[in-house]
């Protein structure tokens, strides 16, 4: 079976983990956690980075930082992973979904204004497949209505919007290092803090509501409980692994882009025949080849193609049952305006296998199989 995902291993992970356990410091915020945070602050030109246990936890921290209360409304696309919504629902918020654009599968920036009410507190753009949302429009709206912007950049490491890294454009940005993401450590994440007013409190929330970080810097002589919080810091074993991956992150990205471009070029003829749609990358953004997807005519063809690929030992998948139609979403959310594209486009999308160091012959195998399928229907 050709796997859908193979977690990247770049080489130095084992050495760094050995170094971390021989250092005698295995809990959070040791040498490797600091190196990882510094890497982001340098490479991303971000004011402060907190490495977390997951992107889900980075999103939860964002919701706490924004003081989200019962009844507050948060605007986001319905076509996303559950954590984007759950982080805010945990604080009592109501989720207001806005339709996506069919070209990028991202939130339609032109429909956001209609969803804003007196209760709206934040907009959460999700950069699907590592391709940026239209951030100029979103940031302008947020500015005019005094709303916070939390980027769900879980899939977007090293992608850019007009020359700026995803996760650095909103007030807060959340990244994921889950093993299905380009750069990973099994489970992990980061909170990028671009608005200085959140810096001190973010450290406290991540350290169980204590001012322990200040204590370690010698700024207070004992540490105590000062605010709400939880334990959002990963162990050094995880960040040692992560550091090796961050050092190789450009290599991982360029390797994935070669595979992505190969898929794109080989499948172009099917798109010209209108049998499939290929991903669209707007000219003002670069992407990190997090995902290669195609869209077929409808749900029926998708089911047939997925079965056909599986029969030929290829694991392809679809994802995201739109959150507004999920069991939990029905109770806790509403859809602003009409669902023109969210359900329709999500039902026809297929993700093809794509991972670091994927063999060219395997890409050819997947493509051949797709051609074979369309020659029979
Ligand atoms: C992967 C992902 C998350 C969750 O990341 P974890 O690190 O697994 O918590 C959140 N949002 C999106 C869009 C994702 O793709």
Does residue 49 surpass a pLDDT of 70? Answer: yes
Instruction: Give the span between the Cα atoms of 170 and 167, in whole angstroms.
Output: 7
Residue of 125, 154, 172, 293 with the most ligand 1 atoms within 8 Å of its CB, for mutation: 154
Closest ligand 1 atom, residue 128 Cα: 13
Using a 6 Å cutoff on CB, does residue 154 contact ligand 1?
Answer: yes
**Pairing mode of beta strands 189-193, 48-52:** antiparallel
Residue 342: name the closest of 104, 148, 139 by CA: 104
Using a 6 Å cutoff on CB, does residue 55 contact ligand 1?
Answer: yes
Residues in the chain: 377
Does residue 377 surpass a pLDDT of 70? Answer: no
Question: Which helix (DSSP H) or strand (DSSP E) does residue 19 occupy?
Answer: helix 13-22
CA distances from 87 to 74, 152, 294, 328, 367 (A): 11, 11, 29, 13, 38
Instruction: Give the span between the Cα atoms of 307 and 296, in whole angstroms.
Output: 14
Alpha helices in 207-298 (DSSP H): 212-216, 236-247, 249-272
Residue of the nearest CA to atom 8 in ligand 1? 178
| Average pLDDT of the chain to the nearest whole number | 97
- Looking at residue 376, what is its pLDDT? 80
Closest ligand 1 atom, residue 127 Cα: 13
Q: Under a CB-based contact definition with an 8 Å cutoff, are residues 314 and 5 in contact?
A: no
Give the pair of three-digit tokens for residue 356: 């670091």
Give the other-Cβ count within 10 Å of 93's Cβ: 24
What end-to-end distance do the CA atoms of the chain give, in Å?
A: 24
Residue with tokens 């980061």: 190
User: Tens of pLDDT along 145-168?
Assistant: 999 999 999 999 999 999 999 999
Count Cα atoms within 13 angstroms, Cβ side, for 232.
29
Using a 6 Å cutoff on CB, does residue 238 contact ligand 1?
Answer: no
Phi, psi (rounded to 5 degrees) for 58: -65, -40
Ligand 1 centroid – CA 192 distance (Å): 15
- Looking at residue 153, what is its pLDDT? 98
Residue of 7, 50, 56, 245 with the most ligand 1 atoms within 8 Å of its CB, for mutation: 56
Q: What is the DSSP letter of 231?
A: B
User: Tens of pLDDT along 241-261?
Assistant: 999 999 999 999 999 999 999
Residue of the nearest CA to atom 1 in ligand 1? 154
Instruction: Give the span between the Cα atoms of 334 and 122, in whole angstroms.
Output: 15
In sequence order, the 6+-apart residues with CB closer than 8 A to the CB of 38 are none
Domains of the chain: 13-247 (3.40.640.10), 249-374 (3.90.1150.10)
Burial tier of 94 (Cβ tally within 10 Å: 0-12, 13-18, 19+): middle
State whether residue 14 is helix, strand or coil.
Answer: helix
- Looking at residue 296, what is its pLDDT? 98
User: Tens of pLDDT along 58-104?
Assistant: 999 999 999 999 999 999 999 999 999 999 999 999 999 999 999 99
Query: Taken in order 238, 243, 244, 249, is the CA torsion positive or negative?
Result: positive
To the nearest 10 degrees (0 to 180), the angle between helices 236-247 and 13-22 is: 150
Does residue 110 surpass a pLDDT of 80? Answer: yes
User: Tens of pLDDT along 266-298?
Assistant: 999 999 999 999 999 999 999 999 999 999 999
Does residue 41 surpass a pLDDT of 80? Answer: yes
Using a 6 Å cutoff on CB, does residue 52 contact ligand 1?
Answer: no
Ligand 1 centroid – CA 173 distance (Å): 12
Ligand 1 centroid – CA 176 distance (Å): 6
Count Cα atoms within 13 angstroms, Cβ side, for 99.
16
Instruction: Give the span between the Cα atoms of 133 and 36, in whole angstroms.
Output: 26
Instruction: Give the span between the Cα atoms of 207 and 67, in whole angstroms.
Output: 17
Ligand 1 centroid – CA 131 distance (Å): 15
């Amino acid at each position: 079976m050709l796997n859908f995902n193979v977690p990247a291993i770049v080489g130095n992970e084992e050495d760094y983990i050995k170094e971390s356990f021989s250092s005698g410091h295995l809990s959070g915020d040791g040498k490797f956690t600091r190196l990882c945070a510094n890497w982001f602050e340098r490479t991303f030109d971000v004011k402060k980075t907190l490495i977390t246990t997951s992107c889900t936890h980075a999103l939860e921290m964002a919701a706490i930082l924004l003081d989200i209360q019962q009844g507050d409304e948060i605007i986001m696309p319905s076509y996303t992973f559950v954590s984007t919504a759950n982080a805010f629902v945990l604080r009592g918020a109501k989720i207001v979904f806005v339709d996506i654009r069919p070209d990028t599968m991202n939130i339609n920036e032109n429909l956001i204004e209609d969803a804003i009410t007196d209760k709206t507190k934040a907009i959460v753009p999700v950069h699907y497949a590592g391709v940026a949302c239209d951030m100029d429009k979103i940031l302008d709206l947020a500015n005019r209505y005094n709303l916070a912007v939390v980027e769900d950049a879980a899939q977007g490491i090293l992608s850019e919007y007009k020359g700026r890294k995803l996760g650095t454009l909103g007030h807060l940005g959340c990244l994921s290092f889950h093993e299905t993401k380009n750069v990973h450590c099994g489970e992990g994440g980061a909170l990028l803090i671009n608005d200085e007013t959140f810096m001190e409190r973010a450290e406290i929330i991540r350290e169980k509501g204590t001012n322990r970080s200040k204590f370690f810097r010698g700024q207070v002589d004992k540490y105590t409980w000062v605010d709400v919080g939880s334990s959002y810091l990963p162990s050094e074993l995880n960040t040692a692994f992560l550091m090796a991956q961050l050092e190789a992150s450009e290599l991982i990205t360029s390797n994935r882009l070669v595979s992505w471009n190969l898929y794109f070029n080989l499948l172009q003829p099917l798109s010209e025949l209108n049998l499939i749609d290929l991903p669209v990358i707007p000219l003002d953004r670069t992407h990190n080849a997090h995902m290669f997807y195609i869209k077929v005519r409808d749900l029926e063809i998708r089911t047939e193609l997925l079965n056909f690929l599986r029969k030929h030992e290829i694991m392809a998948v679809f994802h995201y049952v739109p959150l507004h139609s999920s069991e939990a979403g029905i109770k806790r959310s509403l859809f602003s305006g009409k669902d023109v594209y969210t359900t329709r486009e999500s039902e026809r999308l297929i993700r093809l296998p794509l991972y670091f160091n994927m063999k060219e012959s395997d890409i050819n195998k997947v493509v051949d199989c797709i051609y074979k399928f369309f020659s029979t229907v």
